[in-house]
Chain A
Amino acid sequence: MSTADWIVLIVTLLCVIIYGLYKSRSEKNLDGYFLCERSVPWYIVLLSIMGTQASAVTFLSAPGQAYTDGMRFVQYYFGLPLAMVVLCITFVPVFHKLKIYTAYEFLEKRFDLKTRTLTSFLFLVQRGLSTGISISAPSIILSSLLGWDIFYTNIFMGGLLIIYTVTGGAKAVAYTQQLQLIIIFSGMIIAGYMVVHLLPAHVGFFDALHVGGKAGKLNVITTGFTKKGFNWNDRYNLLSGVIGGFFLALSYFGTDQSQVGRYITAKSENESKLGLLMNGLVKVPMQFLILLVGVLVFAFYQFTNEPVFFNQSQLNVLAKSKYKDSLIVLQKEYNETEAKKIQQVNLLADKQVQKDVPAYIQTQLELKAIEDKKAKYRHTIKRWLDDKDVKGESNDTNYIFLRFVVDYLPKGLVGLLIAVIFLAAWSSIAAALNSLSAATIIDFHKRFSKKELSEKKEYDLSRWYTLLWGIFCIVVAQLAYNIGNSLIEAVNVLGSLFYGVILGIFLVAFYMKKISGNAVFCSAVIIEALVITIHVLNQKGIMNLSFLWLNAVGAIGVIILSALVNPLINNNKKVGNKLPT
């Protein structure tokens, strides 16, 4: 990175920290620290829930995903607007009426203490580990791309935000997220503009779309149906997006304290609802645009030299392995193929060739043969990296966008885009730390401590818990380094292991008034074991079910089993408490 990039990066990060500290002034009690005295307007709620959901991986991974697999990933978000509607009808009014600090408090009022404790515990485990991974994932990418030390990158990625999160609690989190999102969106819009600007003079925005479309990258809608029927292992299609995505979004926004803790800070029920519904309106188009940047990067690389593998550090690993001589030969052949590819792509873009149909078809066929050849070279590199003697990382999807940024964007802008990665990470990590602290003090410390605490003592303890969770997550990040790139997917899989069951408990609480705490508790434990078993069977190749469906299995499993078990456990016993009306 150049000096200009360092200046932009440091100034941007410092501005956010200072702004966070400036916004830290709040009442020194739990209401101030976790709920901003319930004073937040809807647009801050909107930016806060968007900032919490959009981690660094969103901005690193999504363009790379579009580059390799096309835009069908956007379907993953189709269930989100529906979930926002259900949340506004069911969850938000109850949370506001009960004036809760954590979503799990509601479960004790509806069921019993053990159900609340189990659910809050599942949240702490899942959120604590996945926040650690959220720190590690972008750190690994930045450190291998820019040659930074992973230890210090983890410290900066997960440590600096602790300053304003500990000091200012939910208020600092919400207001810095507002600033962070403005910077993030500006950075992504500039990046998108720059890709189009860097295309050859005769290639415009729509030409780039046609290039992407012809390569199958604009596959926004896919059905998941093949000649053999529906493919249950296909992750991103219309059905899995609407159904699986709905359950995932409902459990994430309705039962994960990192999200619930954002919208219960709103000054009224209306403001919470408006923030959530606006999220339902803007989330899908936003994801579409982020993915579109990936397609534009793909189009850009059709007219210029595309690296055989985007993670240069892994090529360096190969260069020191037993494949070093083969790599030199492969690289030479690949470069020759690339030169031919650029020639053919330029021919396709030539208006004269486009008018000559036989010549156009011939050029297309030759280009297809070149692409097949390139795919073989990439496959060979990946095979070498997967070799047990090399132990490399064969997935370079998350390096594509940042590699483009570092190689082609002007000085200063690289620093801004690196800052975008940091800020995206901070916005979700800060919300997670705040929520972890809230669940720890409200659901465990205060609930089980026999000592009466003063307001000041509770406030101080909350800050200590935030700090401790921050340290815990950085330690997890340092340990997670050994897992490598696959840990990015681990965040999603980890969520799907727990979210479904937690959502099932909440849905029973809201909609099945006759089910008791004992029935839902037993069902949750059994179904959680079932979900983990399915995941293990998937890992071993015995089953073939995409992780997105685990959310639906968990939620529906708890609902059905609770209904079946309830009459057996609760013969003539008092059942659930009444919800507020």
Chain B
Amino acid sequence: MSADEKTPLFKNWNYWYILVIAFLIVLVISFYFFTKHFS
């Protein structure tokens, strides 16, 4: 990666990785309650 290429939106890519994993966790938890609510 060239030095002048900045990570979009965040300071570095680690924040992006955390966002993706956190979003997955939120989805799984939401799906759990969705399943429970409608069963």
Q: Tell me whether A and B are bound partners.
A: yes
Query: CB within 8 Å of B: which residues of A?
Result: 74, 78, 81-82, 84-85, 88-89, 93, 96, 209-210, 212-214, 216, 218-221, 238, 268-270, 273-274, 277, 280-281, 284-285, 288
Given contacts A85-B21, A89-B17, 9 further A-B contacts (CB under 8 A): A89-B13, A210-B38, A213-B38, A213-B39, A220-B35, A238-B28, A269-B1, A270-B7, A288-B31
B8, B38, B39 pick with most chain A CB within 10 angstroms: B38
Judge whether B1 and A93 touch: CB under 8 Å. Answer: yes
Judge whether A221 and B20 touch: CB under 8 Å. Answer: no
How many Å from the CB of B6 to the closest CB on chain A?
Answer: 8
What are 7 A-B interface contacts by the 8 Å CB criterion?
A88-B13, A89-B13, A96-B1, A218-B35, A220-B35, A280-B24, A281-B23
Least CB separation from B14: chain A residue = A89
Judge whether A274 and B35 touch: CB under 8 Å. Answer: no
Judge whether B38 and A218 touch: CB under 8 Å. Answer: yes
Contact of A78 among B8, B24, B34, B35 (CB under 8 A): B24
Judge whether A212 and B38 touch: CB under 8 Å. Answer: yes
For the complex, would chain A's binding face be called helix, strand, loop or mixed by DSSP majority?
A: helix
Judge whether A85 and B5 touch: CB under 8 Å. Answer: no
Q: How far is the CA of A274 from the CA of B31 in the complex (A)?
A: 25
Judge whether B39 and A220 touch: CB under 8 Å. Answer: no
User: Which residues of A lie under 8 Å from residue B28 when comparing CB positions?
Assistant: 78, 221, 238
How many Å from the CB of A160 to the closest CB on chain B?
Answer: 36
Q: How far is the CA of A281 from the CA of B31 in the complex (A)?
A: 15
Judge whether A74 and B20 touch: CB under 8 Å. Answer: no
Judge whether A219 and B24 touch: CB under 8 Å. Answer: no
How many Å from the CB of B23 to the closest CB on chain A?
Answer: 6
Query: CB within 8 Å of A: which residues of B?
Result: 1-2, 5-8, 13, 16-17, 19-21, 23-24, 27-28, 31-32, 34-35, 37-39
User: Which residues of B lie under 8 Å from residue A89 when comparing CB positions?
Assistant: 13, 17
With A268-B1, A269-B1, A277-B16: A284-B24 Cβ-Cβ less than 8 Å: yes
Judge whether A219 and B1 touch: CB under 8 Å. Answer: no
User: Which residues of B lie under 8 Å from residue A88 when comparing CB positions?
Assistant: 13, 16-17
Judge whether B16 and A268 touch: CB under 8 Å. Answer: no
Q: How far is the CA of A569 from the CA of B32 in the complex (A)?
A: 49
Q: How far is the CA of A372 from the CA of B27 in the complex (A)?
A: 34
Judge whether B21 and A82 touch: CB under 8 Å. Answer: yes
Q: How far is the CA of A240 from the CA of B28 in the complex (A)?
A: 14
User: Which residues of B lie under 8 Å from residue A288 when comparing CB positions?
Assistant: 31
A213, A221, A273 pick with most chain B CB within 10 angstroms: A221
Least CB separation from B32: chain A residue = A221
User: Which residues of B lie under 8 Å from residue A84 when comparing CB positions?
Assistant: 20
Q: How far is the CA of A238 from the CA of B25 in the complex (A)?
A: 12
Contact of B20 among A81, A212, A214, A218 (CB under 8 A): A81
User: Which residues of B lie under 8 Å from residue A270 when comparing CB positions?
Assistant: 1, 5-8
How many Å from the CB of A107 to the closest CB on chain B?
Answer: 22
Q: How far is the CA of A85 from the CA of B23 in the complex (A)?
A: 12
User: Which residues of A lie under 8 Å from residue B31 when comparing CB positions?
Assistant: 74, 220-221, 288
Judge whether A219 and B35 touch: CB under 8 Å. Answer: yes
Judge whether B21 and A81 touch: CB under 8 Å. Answer: yes
How many Å from the CB of B20 to the closest CB on chain A?
Answer: 5
With A84-B20, A85-B17, A88-B17: A218-B7 Cβ-Cβ less than 8 Å: no
Q: How far is the CA of A346 from the CA of B2 in the complex (A)?
A: 65
Least CB separation from A213: chain B residue = B38
How many Å from the CB of A563 to the closest CB on chain B?
Answer: 27
User: Which residues of A lie under 8 Å from residue B23 when comparing CB positions?
Assistant: 81, 281
Q: How far is the CA of A94 from the CA of B13 in the complex (A)?
A: 16
How many Å from the CB of A334 to the closest CB on chain B?
Answer: 28
How many Å from the CB of B14 to the closest CB on chain A?
Answer: 9
User: Which residues of A lie under 8 Å from residue B24 when comparing CB positions?
Assistant: 78, 81-82, 280, 284
How many Å from the CB of A95 to the closest CB on chain B?
Answer: 12
Judge whether A219 and B16 touch: CB under 8 Å. Answer: no
Q: How far is the CA of A219 from the CA of B31 in the complex (A)?
A: 9
How many Å from the CB of B29 to the closest CB on chain A?
Answer: 9
How many Å from the CB of A67 to the closest CB on chain B?
Answer: 16
User: Which residues of B lie under 8 Å from residue A209 when comparing CB positions?
Assistant: 38
Q: How far is the CA of A281 from the CA of B23 in the complex (A)?
A: 7
Least CB separation from B5: chain A residue = A270
